[in-house]
Chain A
Amino acid sequence: MGEVTAVLGGGQSGFATSKFDALLGWARKYSLFQYPFVTACCGMEHMATAGARYDIERFGAGAPRFSPRQSDLLWVVGTITQKQAPALKRIYEQMTDPKYVIAFGTCASCGGFYDNYTTVPGIDKVVPVDVFIPGCPPRPEAVLDALILLQDKIQNGDRDPVVVRTAQPASPLVQLGQKRST
């Protein structure tokens, strides 16, 4: 309910007041129909995120549509080759407005270690991207972070690209020591 009162004002008067954009953003961010464009090993982590343990359903993004015409959130999961780029662009163009794009993993974000003639160095060279998720592959937690980030962006009407923050990992020895001491 905290979420609702942030969008809707009006108090005890029996009416709810809101700005139209805020209401629209609120409706949009909980009805994301996703199109998974899965090309590589990151797909495994995408499936893990979509599974019961991480329950992507609770963010209103649980229904994958396998037609771009029925979807408004494009997950680009994995390496995009130069040969595949026209297909990606075409799928993006077929999606319904307003449309959002998440670059899932290092390869989709920047080409990763495929620094050669085969691979698009980041899908933002082909389609506009809203959220980048670093990681090779990213953990499901990072994916959920990206989804929440995207929902915030939709609510605020913000289309600037953002990157999911990753915690600076401690060295394995430090982590081991911490585990032992607790």
Chain B
Amino acid sequence: MSQLVLERLRARFGEKLLETSSFRGDEQAIVAPGDWLEVATFLRDEPECAMDHFVDLTAVDYPEREPELPRFDLVLLLRSLGKKHRIRVKTRLREGQAVATLSKVWLGADWTEREVWDMFGIKFDGHPDLRRILMYEEFEGHPLRKDYPINKTQPLVQYREVGPSKLAPFGPDEGNPFGRIDWLQRLGGGNRQVSPAISVQQGQKPALSASTEEKN
């Protein structure tokens, strides 16, 4: 559906596009961080693209793909209300690498960039007010990074002294099989399907489901 947008991008940027792909109507282009602002401005201003709807800006952390590739993917989702097409633009960033802000292209990027800074610690050059937006100022670290410890909390209020055990039924699983999971115990089983990032963090081999291991 959005092939036209990819064609326009290829015609304009050519070799500067690192990668393009299409999968069942999802068009994606990967650009270098240096071209980020230029590509975004082009997509908004080019009459055939006319990306006037800034949908979202977010990031993904892939620590395991270092050092071949930078660890962060910055993902920009755009849509044109008039042309009825969409595109996904990505760029790859190393730890501590900053990228130009899009808040001057789409005003809505202001808060989403603050969210990306808060959750992933990616800095945006030229952002008018790059503060945390979800977490509190006292919070240390960036919680959606895969290396943020899964059990680490940073309470603002000193916890009261409460007894060693909670009242029943608020035991280890709180009566909810989906809550308060004992990850260490779960990982000890070895063949349970868990997040690869968690298993790496806990020093376990990436766990596969039992059926997958049998096939191999």
Interface positions of A (Cβ within 8 A of B): 82-83, 85-86, 89, 106, 109-113, 115-118, 120-122, 124-128, 132, 134, 136, 161-163, 166
Contacts and interface: CB of A to CB of B under 8 A. Distances in A.
Given A106-B174, A117-B143, A117-B148, A86 B160 contact: no
Given A125-B162, A161-B167, A113 B178 contact: yes
Binding site of A, secondary structure by majority: helix, strand, loop or mixed?
Answer: loop
Given A112-B179, A113-B176, A122 B155 contact: no
Given A124-B162, A163-B167, A163-B169, A117 B156 contact: no
Contacts of B215: none
Interface in B145-192: 148, 150, 152-157, 159-160, 162, 166-170, 174-176, 178-181
A117 to B, nearest CB: 5
15 contacts: A83-B135, A106-B174, A106-B175, A109-B174, A110-B179, A113-B176, A113-B179, A115-B180, A116-B143, A117-B154, A121-B153, A124-B160, A125-B157, A132-B167, A134-B169
B160 A128 contact: yes
B136 interface: yes
Contact of A83 (B136, B143, B168): B136
Interface of B: 135-136, 143, 148, 150, 152-157, 159-160, 162, 166-170, 174-176, 178-181
A159 B196 CA distance: 46
B155 A106 contact: no
A136 B176 contact: yes
Contacts of B153: 82, 116-117, 121
B175 A134 contact: yes
Contact of A109 (B143, B156, B170, B181): B170
B136 A82 contact: yes
Nearest to B150: A116
B161 to A, nearest CB: 9
B187 to A, nearest CB: 15
Contact of B160 (A82, A126, A134, A136): A126
Contacts of B155: 82, 85, 120, 125
Contacts of A85: 155-157
A10 to B, nearest CB: 39
A110 B166 contact: yes
A89 B156 CA distance: 11
A126 B153 CA distance: 14
Nearest to A113: B179
Given A82-B156, A89-B157, A110-B174, A166 B136 contact: no
A155 B204 CA distance: 54
B170 A134 contact: yes
Contacts of A113: 176, 178-180
A116 B178 CA distance: 13
B181 A117 contact: no
A111 B159 CA distance: 14
B135 A166 contact: no
B179 A115 contact: yes
